[in-house]
Amino acid sequence: MASHSAINELYNSSKLIPCVFPLFLIVILLLSISSADSSTHISDGPKNDLFPEILRDEAVARIYELGKVSDGHGYLERTFLSPASIRAGNLIRTWMEDAGLTTWVDGLGNVHGRVQPPNASNKALLIGSHLDTVVDAGMFDGTLGIISAISALKVLNVTGRSRHLQHPVEVIAFSDEEGVRFQSTFLGSAALAGVLPASTLQVPDKSGLTVQNVLKENLIDTTEENLSQIKYEPESVLGYVEVHIEQGPVLESIGLPLAVVKGIAGQTRLKLTVRGSQGHAGTVPMSMRQDPMVAAAELIVLLESLCKHPQDFISSNGHCNAFSIESLSGSLVCTVGEISTWPSASNVIPGQVSFTIDIRTIDDIGREAIIYELSNQMHRICDGRSVSCFLDRKHDADAVNCDGGLNSQLKSAAYTALKRMAGEDIGDVPVLMSGAGHDAMAMSHLTKVGMLFVRCRGGISHSPEEHVLEDDVWAAGLAIQAFLETNL
Ligand SMILES: *[C@@H]1O[C@H](CO)[C@@H](O)[C@H](O)[C@H]1NC(C)=O
Ligand SMILES: *[C@@H]1O[C@H](CO)[C@@H](O)[C@H](O)[C@H]1NC(C)=O
Ligand SMILES: *[C@@H]1O[C@H](CO)[C@@H](O)[C@H](O)[C@H]1NC(C)=O
Ligand SMILES: [Zn+2]
């Protein structure tokens, strides 16, 4: 009975030696407690100085209004440049103009609104998030970041303070972050950051229309030759800031509305295929089976153990730095979300089973170490069961660290906002790690990035159950306003 385990070449290559770099990345300070910088001088005033009618009531009304702008009936769906996305973009433009911003749409359908103060420097501060959604989405993911930026700038406009900003400020509503239509995330922000491959314009959606076709349908004439004109020059920007719902349960569990984001986890997506011997469920004795289904089950359970207790698998034989194990176990998450079997019949021992693996951690080298260990263990399990296993690497993104300077400004702005709202000291603003990708990841190729997270109910997102309290929308707007005021 011939059998062997074939493992993707990459995993046998010697360049993957885990834990040889003693100094890398940061220890993840989930809930790092360092004293908030209270250097921002904003006097505590009555709550009507806090612009609840703009930063809360109007912002919430706009979020709900955008939540109804959908391509689906009875559920929220806005994909790249779909009719609903165009309508949403137009609404956002009117709101930007209402806040005193000059607006335009770029060659990838991103909506921009800019305030250009008279004596400002030539480096613009960019603030943004995405206007597209997943299918059956919640209405805060992406939208909250766009709306809170517009509201904060509206406050500076009505108080006459936007004229005194030291830097131009530009709000950007990105056309695609979720990647639903073209299965390619960050179309909008990647183009702006200059990291979108020109070939992406030829990627087709399910109906066969390419990115370029869809742009053209909307009177945007972007070609492979002039895609690069969308790119911003690093010298023209000061940094990028994004407000986003947390999409996790931590802020709710500690009872605070805002957190600063330390960094965004890196990610690898793999496909693991197990081939065995297809056969009759009634006639092949148990001892003579090469069943890929049970091998897949064993591999999935192994993956869970590996990601729950990486320290048990990755040896600290002197090479491994304690920080790496610590940052790894603090942020590592692994998921098998999709599984398919062939021929998928109740009376047939499957011939082939494949499943997806999604691995994320803030620790890029730790992620390689996990994949290396996974492939070793896979080899062992598949040999033992006489099935063939292949690991195929589909997608990689390195972790992104947020900028220390922007983070401390955002932290003190969030602290100020919460203190003003509560009328008393609310303690430290927590620092979290982001397990989800954001436009800030693409923007980090252009400039330094900083992020604020906003509490969402139950940590739920990508669902109509997604919810943010009205006062938390207010807190987000107030924090961005306080952040902008540090640039006055
Ligand atoms: C506020 O915005 C309006 C346009 O809506 C503009 O005319 C006005 O100059 C802006 N005010 C300041 C102080 O920038
Ligand atoms: C811009 O600079 C000029 C010259 O220094 C000054 O007169 C003017 O008041 C400044 N404008 C603002 C809005 O700060
Ligand atoms: C890109 O090229 C097309 C075709 O030559 C042209 O119509 C379009 O205006 C160009 N776009 C930009 C942003 O220059
Ligand atoms: Zn999002």
User: Domain with 138 in it: what CATH number?
Assistant: 3.40.630.10
Q: Is the CB of 164 under 6 A from ligand 2?
A: yes
| Beta-bridge mates of residue 391 | 272
222 C-alpha to center of ligand 3: Å? 6
d(CA 180, CA 175): 11
Which residue in this structure is represented by tokens 């690069």? Answer: 228
pLDDT in tens, 156-213: 999 999 999 999 999 999 999 998 999 877 999 999 999 999 999 999 999 999 999 9
Which mutation among 116, 119, 121 tests ligand 2's pocket best, with the greatest number of atoms within 8 A of CB? 119
Q: Is 412 helix (H, G, I), strand (E, B) or coil?
A: helix
Atom 6 (ligand 3) nearest CA: 221
Query: Which domain covers residue 426, as residue numbers?
Result: 47-264+399-485
Last residue of a domain, one of 333, 364, 397: 397
Strand partners, 389: 274
Examine the domain organization and report whether 453 and 346 are in the same domain: no
Burial of 287: CB neighbours in 10 Å, binned 0-12, 13-18, 19+: exposed
Q: Nearest-CA neighbor of 443 among 231, 258, 179?
A: 231
CA distance 58 to 77: 23
Residues 343 and 382 in one domain: yes
**Tens of pLDDT, residues 402-440:** 999 999 999 999 999 999 999 988 889 999 999 999 999
Closest ligand to C-alpha of residue 160 is 1
Q: Determine the distance separating the centroid of ligand 3 and the alpha carbon of 225, expressed in angstroms.
A: 8
| Ligand with minimal distance to 96 CA | 1
479 and 368 in a common domain: no
CA–centroid distance, 229 to ligand 3, in Å, is 9
In a domain, 35, yes or no: no
Q: Look at residue 11 in the predicted model and tell me its pLDDT.
A: 34
Give the confidence band of 242 by pLDDT, cuts at 50, 70, 90.
Answer: very high
Cβ of residue 216 lying under 6 Å from some atom of ligand 2: no
* Residue 129, in any domain of the structure: yes
Query: Is residue 41 in some structural domain?
Result: no
CATH code for the domain in which residue 391 is found: 3.30.70.360
Residues 302 and 230 in one domain: no
User: What is the CA(170)–ligand 1 centre distance, in A?
Assistant: 15
Whether residue 224 has its Cβ less than 6 Å from ligand 3: no
Average pLDDT, the chain: 89
- Distance between CA atoms of 359 and 319, rounded to whole angstroms? 23
- Mutate which of 157, 164, 169 for ligand 1 pocket (most atoms within 8 A of beta carbon): 157
Q: From residue 160, how far is each of 51, 163, 458 by CA, in Å? A: 14, 6, 39
Query: E strand or H helix at 392, and its extent?
Result: strand 388-397
The answer as to whether 13 is a domain residue is yes
The pLDDT tens digits of the residues spanning 348-406 come to 999 999 999 999 999 999 999 999 999 999 999 999 999 999 999 988 889 999 999 99
The answer on pLDDT for 340 being more than 70 is yes
> Which ligand number lies closest to the CA of residue 144?
4
pLDDT at 106: 97
The verdict on 107 and 76 lying in the same domain is yes
**Counting Cβ atoms within 10 Å, is residue 136 exposed (0-12), middle (13-18) or buried (19+)?**
middle
Write down the number of H helices and E strands in the chain.
14, 16
Give how many domains the chain has, as a whole number: 2
The ligand 2 atom nearest the CA atom of 119: 1
Last residue of a domain, one of 379, 397, 415: 397
Q: Which atom of ligand 3 is nearest to the CA of 221?
A: 8
* End-to-end Cα distance, the chain: 76
**What length does the chain have?**
488
**Shared-domain flag, residues 405 and 388:** no
Atom number, ligand 1, closest to the C-alpha of residue 156:
13
Q: Is residue 4 part of a domain?
A: no
The confidence score (pLDDT) of residue 272 equals 98
Provide the 10 A C-beta neighbour count for residue 406. Answer: 21
At 47, the pLDDT band (50, 70, 90 cuts) reads low
Give the pLDDT band (50/70/90) at residue 345: very high
Tell me which DSSP letter residue 198 carries: G
> Which atom in ligand 3 lies closest to the alpha carbon of residue 230?
13
User: For ligand 4, a single-atom ion, which residues have Cβ within 5 Å?
Assistant: 141-142
Q: Specify if 39 maps to a domain.
A: no
Q: Secondary structure of the chain: what % helix, strand, coil (to 5)?
A: 40, 20, 40
Whether residue 237 is found in the same domain as residue 273: no
Identify which has the larger pLDDT, 227 or 36: 227
361 Cβ contact partners less than 8 Å away, ≥ 6 residues apart: 265, 266, 327, 328, 331, 332, 333, 367, 370, 399
Our answer on whether the CB atom of 366 is closer than 6 Å to any ligand 3 atom is no
Residue 459 tokens read as: 């940590």
Whether the CB-CB separation of 18 and 321 falls below 8 Å is answered with no
pLDDT for residue 395? 85
Closest listed ligand to the CA of 164: 2
Whether 238 and 308 share a structural domain: no
Q: Take atom 12 of ligand 1 and give the residue whose Cα is closest.
A: 157
Question: Does residue 372 sit in the same domain as residue 428?
Answer: no
44 pLDDT band, cuts 50/70/90, is very low
Asked if residue 171 and residue 209 are part of one domain, the reply reads yes
Q: Are 133 and 77 in contact (CB under 8 A)?
A: yes
Assess whether pLDDT exceeds 60 at residue 299: yes
Last-in-domain residue among 374, 397, 420 = 397
pLDDT for 184: 77
Query: Could you count the other beta carbons within 10 Å of the beta carbon of residue 386?
Result: 17
Does the CB atom of residue 223 touch ligand 3 within 6 A? yes
Residues 204 and 140 in one domain: yes
pTM for this predicted structure: 0.82
As beta bridge partners, residue 274 has 353, 389
For residue 160, the CA-to-ligand 2 centroid distance in Å is 14
Residues whose beta carbon lies within 6 Å of some atom of ligand 1: 100, 157, 160, 162-163
- Please indicate, yes or no, whether residues 355 and 460 belong to a single structural domain of this protein: no
